[in-house]
Structure 1
Amino acid sequence: MRLATFNILHARSLGDGQVDLDRFTAAVRDLDADVLALQEVDRDQPRSHGADLTVLAAEAMGAPEHRFAAVLHGEPGLWTAATGDHQPATASYGIALLSRHPVREWRVLKLPVLRRRAPVMWPGNRWPALVSDEPRAALAAVVQGPQGDVTVVATHLTFIPGWSTRQLRTLVSHVSGLPRPLVLMGDLNIGGDRPARVSGMRALATAATFPVSHPLRQLDHILADGPVEPVGAARAIDTGLSDHRALVVDVTY
């Protein structure tokens, strides 16, 4: 089974600054993933031509099972937190999980978020900037894969240092009762081998994913708890869009 995680930057390319939906669907199709986690996903946003990027990705990869979890609704500059069942009727932004295989159960999991502004040092700045975070969530699916059931969890953690590890520990606690084997994947905003150490899980994929043109850090991860093993080396793929590379690994379990 092929697993992939991809922070899509709402399908925008850094090369030309444009959102090209045909380019996006071709990139998803070329990943050829059986289960795909997406982050920074738009639905009904003018900047991405009003498209439902989750549905477009599902059609491109042939995934009858898919879910979108909104963490924000409204348009950029006027964001507010999503409420209710995480599927607001207005324009929204969040994460998605897609599967070619049947899904027995879906869950949306809320993660803690820092309610005050925090100092973050951006590359090239002399001084830290005070920033506010957005709500964070995870999507969990019990997938009926070709070798039996496997739980897959997709998330996008905060960029605020310290809080990303707190969110990861909380997420591990939230999924402790879900069936094993379990795979957790997404943009964790934590570099290197630290996600494996914090979560107590094993890394299935080791490859630098950020920044896209000359990746120096691995912010995107695929972790496992239980009998899941990689088949061959993982790949970090420049799809021609986003500021991240997609991370892909084939597994057996």
Structure 2
Amino acid sequence: MTGAHGVRPAPGPDQPPIPVRLVTFNTHHGVGADARHDLPRLAKVLASVDADVICLQEVDRYFGDRSEDVDQALLLSRALDMQLAWGPAIDEPRTGGRPPRQYGNALLSRLPILVSDVHPLPGGGEPRSALRTMLELDGGTLWITATHLTTTSARERADQVAALAALHTPDMAAGVLVGDFNARPDAPELHPLRERFTDAWELAADRTDQAGWRFWHRDEGHTHPARSPHRRIDQAWVSPGVGVATAQVLDAEGASDHLPLMVDLRVPSGV
């Protein structure tokens, strides 16, 4: 139930929040720092996180030689024994009865997927899209929108952010927006997100990253590039009422040019 101005009441003492572990990760179509396509390596990294929901960007489905022309989304979902929602940004038909050449966002979930739809985002150049899903929780629901914004133009990113914000309406209750935004969280073009969401990294009670010896960058949440991260472009944004217990940048074990971001959410019951 939603209160005035779309703000949900806090769960009562008899309705504890529901824990959900979520990971967002730009997989670079399974090609790691060694320039090798290695889907088993990527699956091993993902399995080690023990997440309830995994949102992936730059995923190929029969895209071509760079990823051995396999269906990465399906193979990863089977390897992890998770449900799959698929959101192509590029969708090109092929001749000879072959499946279409696709590239985009994937969501893997241990939780039942009740709704899944794909929304093209505005802009020129490489097509971009948002994958919106509703997941069933034990005592509630959670909307997750996963995306990958353009690299080429802050103005186009602003248009894409406006489209993303419009996808989450007040009656959708608990929601999370995740992905590779190709901009820092305080970039002007991401400002409209702050009107509806909170940066999970800032909200987290406990947070750690992969800064290592670079102690002056500690706890800044940098995810790119993987070998020497200094950009926080992989992010999670949560709607009012969704808590964040921990946020952690994980070691990708060389599986991508990004590092994964993990957040332990606390989703209100009964919404």
Structure 1 and Structure 2 fold alike (TM over 0.5) = yes
Q: Letter of the aligned partner of 1:191 in structure 2?
A: R
Q: Letter of the aligned partner of 2:107 in structure 1?
A: L
Q: Which structure 2 residue ranges, 5 or more long, are not aligned?
A: 1-19, 203-220
Matched, 1:32 2:50: yes
TM-score (norm 2): 0.76
1:178/1:25 Cα in 2 relative to 1: closer, same or farther (>3 Å)? farther
**What pairs up with 1:139-150 in 2 under 5 angstroms?**
139-150=131-142
Whole-Å separation in 2 of the counterparts to 1:228 and 1:147: 14
- Give the structure 2 partner of residue 58 of structure 1: 77
Is the contact made by 1:205 and 1:248 (CA closer than 8 Å) also made in structure 2?
no
Q: CA deviation at 1:73?
A: 3.8
- Give the structure 1 partner of residue 245 of structure 2: 231
Matched, 1:197 2:211: no
1:139/1:146 Cα in 2 relative to 1: closer, same or farther (>3 Å)? same
- Give the structure 2 partner of residue 89 of structure 1: 99
- Give the structure 1 partner of residue 164 of structure 2: 171
**What pairs up with 1:129-140 in 2 under 5 angstroms?**
133-140=125-132
- Give the structure 1 partner of residue 173 of structure 2: 180
Alignment: residue pair count: 222
Is the contact made by 1:42 and 1:92 (CA closer than 8 Å) also made in structure 2?
yes
Residue aligned with 1:231, SS: strand
Q: In the alignment, which of 37, 40, 48 is matched to residue 19 of structure 1? A: 37
Q: Letter of the aligned partner of 1:100 in structure 2?
A: R
Provide Cα deviations, 1:62-96, integer angstroms capped at 9, x if missing partner: 212x122222245xxxxx9x9xxxxx932221111
Q: CA deviation at 1:19?
A: 0.5
Whole-Å separation in 2 of the counterparts to 1:159 and 1:178: 32
CA RMSD of aligned residues (A): 2.1
Residue aligned with 1:237, SS: coil
Is the contact made by 1:196 and 1:223 (CA closer than 8 Å) also made in structure 2?
no
Name the structure, 1 or 2, with higher relative contact order (CA <8 Å, separation 6+): 2
- Give the structure 2 partner of residue 119 of structure 1: none
- Give the structure 2 partner of residue 151 of structure 1: 143
The percentage of aligned residue pairs carrying the same residue is 31
Matched, 1:222 2:236: yes
TM-score (norm 1): 0.81
Q: Letter of the aligned partner of 2:172 in structure 1?
A: P
Q: Letter of the aligned partner of 1:197 in structure 2?
A: H
1:56/1:205 Cα in 2 relative to 1: closer, same or farther (>3 Å)? farther
Q: CA deviation at 1:138?
A: 0.5
Q: CA deviation at 1:177?
A: 5.5
1:178/1:41 Cα in 2 relative to 1: closer, same or farther (>3 Å)? farther
Q: Letter of the aligned partner of 1:137 in structure 2?
A: S
Whole-Å separation in 1 of the counterparts to 2:247 and 2:101: 38
Whole-Å separation in 2 of the counterparts to 1:135 and 1:97: 18
Structure (1/2) with the larger helix percentage: 2
Whole-Å separation in 2 of the counterparts to 1:112 and 1:55: 27
Provide Cα deviations, 1:90-135, integer angstroms capped at 9, x if missing partner: 2221111121101221111121113xxxxxxxxxxxxxxxxxx211
1:178/1:9 Cα in 2 relative to 1: closer, same or farther (>3 Å)? farther
Q: CA deviation at 1:170?
A: 1.4
